[in-house]
Amino acid sequence: MRTLYRAARVRTLSYPAVGEWILVDGRHVERVGAGDPPTADRVIELPGMTIVPGFVDAHVHLTGTGVHHQVPDLERAASAGAVLEIVSRAAATRQGPMLVHGYDESRWEHREPPTAADLDGLSDRPLAVVRVDGHLSLANSAALRESGALDLPGVERDEQGVPTGRVITEANAALQRWFASNLADHDIEELQLHAAALAAARGITTVHEMSMIRERGMRDLEVLLGHRRRLPVDVVPYIVTTDVSRAMELGLPRIGGDLPVDGSIGARTAWLSEPYEDGSGNGNSYFDRDSLAQFFHDGHLAGLQVGVHAIGDAAIDQVVSTWERVYLSLDSRGRRHFRARRHRIEHVEMASADVLERAAMLGLAASVQPSFDAAWGSPGGLYEQVLGRERAAGMNPFRDILHRGIEMGAGSDSPITSIGPMIGIAAFGSHHDPLQRLTRDEAIRVFTIGSARLAHQEDKKGSLEPGKHADFAAYDGDPFEVPDVGGLRPVLTVSLGRDVYAA
């Protein structure tokens, strides 16, 4: 069946740059053109609107996004008291163990989060409140006990040895995994579907899913693979593991994704070469040199694309050094093909000019989150609070990354920041350092063809050309031109030729 979409303009990000209609045959674009349109079985009139290629969010956690949106007010809570009030309201409407996500104390006037005792006061059912970045949780006594987290490293204790409720690293992963194990398959499907529908409603047609099997178990990915064809957006899964044979058994050409080489700035677990300003040390390193090299080597030789999460400068340096070591171990033929693999670094926030130069030499790709800068990069924000002014100033050097010729795609890391490319595109344009800002055109390209290239899908996605996937969104205002792009929402989203969202 052929469908014709007629609009004021179709921005192709290809040649010719602008058309007036797009003809879709099944899942694919047949033709883009101007003037008299061809006949079709179905005609969708979009008068005055602008069609652009569907956005690709290169870093999403679908289930986590669904969980976040069960209690969405938490991100706006401005004190420990407000968190407790929201959690207590949510607890009253639900049964059994409850995990909620999304508080961010870095924006509070008094930055003391609730304690285990506070949470015990709310419920004797297992209860956990996960920090916005996912790298730290607050848990009540029942949650600590029943999840088995108490026996693991990462449970903070006071001088008397009593847990404070703050949980990081291994204990945090075990805690979250235990809560996930209490969900039925159907619950997981619903959470993923809710998240995918939200993405479609924001003009996204493809997401790169970072499947956190350490925090959610294998079942989370299995459920996703079981229903991904029915979801409103196309899903490109990255399995967060070092187990190369497991990825291959699942038929996945990609591995690692958000696999943490370090943690986050907010949890003070991002691995830094110089200590945090507030005396909390240098953060955490999750891999020794040799085991990371082994993983990179095995993944590369198996023909997989490998990704890892690295935020702090020490972590990014470790990743790049380790790839250099793997590269040098290859013969000349292997070296010739290395760059084409576009091994990924997720976040790559605290990157120096030197490390970017070395990453560019290896053809490594950057998967960035511009909304991190908008949330935490401004003067007085989280990064300045914990890194000091000088280091905070150099965070998220987007223009430097582009100038080095590094492949760059963008994402939300939802639920860490809200899903929605326009928020990210606005953030690219309002970076705390004016020299690192991207133009509107560049920002849109990074969120479409740039992200498509990060998954080796540029022959199918990211621009509107004959034979490519029919992935696009139509807007009342032209995303290339409207002054305030951040709040722009699509009127229609089409993914793989299906109308997946209509306002």
Q: Which residues bind Zn ion (CB under 5 A)?
A: 258, 309
Closest C-alpha to 262, from 322, 317, 315, 319: 315
Cβ-based nearer residue to Zn ion, 344 or 453: 344
Q: Which amino acid is at 382?
A: L
Residue 501 CB, shortest distance to Zn ion, in Å, is 27
Residue 306 CB, shortest distance to Zn ion, in Å, is 15
Residue 68 CB, shortest distance to Zn ion, in Å, is 15
Q: Which amino acid is at 37?
A: P
Residue 368 CB, shortest distance to Zn ion, in Å, is 11
State the number of CA atoms in the 13 A half-sphere of 374 facing the CB.
19
Token duo for residue 88: 């207590």
The gap from C-alpha 415 to its chain's centroid, in whole angstroms, comes to 8
Tokens 């790049």, residue?
320
Cβ-based nearer residue to Zn ion, 4 or 423: 423
Cβ-based nearer residue to Zn ion, 365 or 474: 365
Cβ-based nearer residue to Zn ion, 309 or 399: 309
Residue 25 CB, shortest distance to Zn ion, in Å, is 38
Q: What share of the chain is helix, strand, coil (3-state, %, to 5)?
A: 40, 25, 35
Cβ-based nearer residue to Zn ion, 258 or 317: 258
**Structural element, H or E, at residue 251:** none
Q: How far apart are CA 386 and CA 374, in angstroms?
A: 16
Residue 124 CB, shortest distance to Zn ion, in Å, is 33
Which residues make Cβ contacts (< 8 Å) with residue 7, sequence separation at least 6? Answer: 20, 21, 22, 46, 47, 48, 49, 50, 51, 474
Alpha helices by DSSP H, listed for 203-303, are 213-216, 218-227, 244-249, 289-301
Cβ-based nearer residue to Zn ion, 118 or 258: 258
Residue 310 CB, shortest distance to Zn ion, in Å, is 9
Cβ-based nearer residue to Zn ion, 105 or 258: 258
**Structural element, H or E, at residue 189:** helix 185-200
Closest C-alpha to 60, from 423, 479, 346, 397: 346
